[in-house]
Amino acid sequence: MVFTAQRQGQRQVIGGDGTHYYTLPFSYPPGFTDVLPVHGDWLDLLSLNNSNYASCLYIALNNGQPFPATYLPVRSPFYMIRVYNGCSATVSGVFIIGRELFQPAKINVALPATMNVNVQYPLDSSNRLITGIYYPLDSSNRLQVGIYYPLDSNNNINVDIQSKAGYAPYMSTTILNNQAITSNGNSSNIDVGGYPYVFVFIYVSAVSGTSPSLNVYLNAVDEVSNQSVSIASVSNITATGTYYISASGLAVRYVNVSWTVSGTSPSFTTTITLKAKW
């Protein structure tokens, strides 16, 4: 089962202050990372299944530094929301995303000649800035690390902000191992949910038949309809050799590899392997 935020029953509401907003329900299992391509000018939580989860549900706007949901609401234009569930349980709730409809009027503000202190937090006993709002801090209020997760026993970063939900940094699987392709076919679906980079090697060691031709496709799988759509391919293979297909920036959990042949009695002795990394 795949957990991701879905925009359900979106209803635009226009307020008297020149804003409108819509809601976005979500449900994430532990360790899940999601990327939501949505535009807004402010973000808040309308509801959360457990208020304690706000401290371990991390959010980043665009490509900015992540922060815990306890810092919501935030008011800053964005085109993308990245979410990571660092809690030990499934977190569900509803985001509320607002847009400004009108250009705010410009105002003139007179600043004092000397500023006493920045409004950032935390400050030391003399009201001097120790650090920005990064989290967590050690017992002396010094910055240990950003809010990357998970950390090892020494609080060093093991992986980047995408927890990968148990995915190793690198994955390799063999689809065909020195097998003869004589007709159209495809592999089973392969889970690449934690990997934005996918590479397919195609080794053709023998070719026979009259005017044989081989096409190989890398397909993305729609989990709702279970339909496959080609996202990259290598076409018209007619001789032995090494070929490849690559794709990056994948926003799907499953892919598969398919192939078609043409000609009279075509046969391609082929090894196909898929590599993925993050």
Q: Do 125 and 156 have their domain in common?
A: yes
Q: Do 139 and 192 belong to one domain?
A: no
Domain assignment of residue 88, yes or no: yes
DSSP assignment string, the chain: --------S---EE-TTSEEEEEEEEEE-TT-EEEE---EEEEEEEEES-GGGGGTEEEEETTS--EEGGG--EEEEES-EEEEE-SSS-EEEEEEEEEE-SPPPP---PPPSS----S-S-B-TTS-B---S-S-B-TTS-B---S-S-B-TTS-B-S-S--GGG--SEEEEEEEEEEEE-S-EEPPPEE-TT-SEEEEEEEEEEEEEEEEEEEEEEEEE-TTT--EEEEEEEEEE-SSEEEEEEEES---SEEEEEEEEEEEEEEEEEEEEEEEE-
CATH number at residue 271: 2.60.120.380
Residue 108 covered by a domain: no
In a domain, 114, yes or no: no
Whether residues 3 and 63 fall in one domain: yes
> Domain for residue 113, yes or no?
no
Q: Is residue 18 in some structural domain?
A: yes
For residue 134, the model assigns a pLDDT of 46
Per-residue pLDDT of the chain (278 residues; tens, 9 = 90+): 344 444 444 445 444 444 577 888 999 999 898 888 888 888 888 899 998 999 999 999 988 888 999 998 888 889 899 999 999 999 999 988 887 655 555 566 666 666 555 444 556 677 665 554 445 566 666 655 544 445 566 666 554 444 455 667 788 999 999 999 999 999 999 998 878 899 999 999 999 999 999 999 999 999 889 899 999 999 999 999 999 999 988 888 999 999 999 999 999 999 999 999 87
Q: What is the pLDDT of residue 23?
A: 86
Report the number of distinct structural domains present in the chain. 2
Residues 17 and 140 both lie in one domain: yes
User: What domain range is 37 assigned to?
Assistant: 1-103+120-163
Within-domain flag for 26: yes
Q: Is residue 135 part of a domain?
A: yes
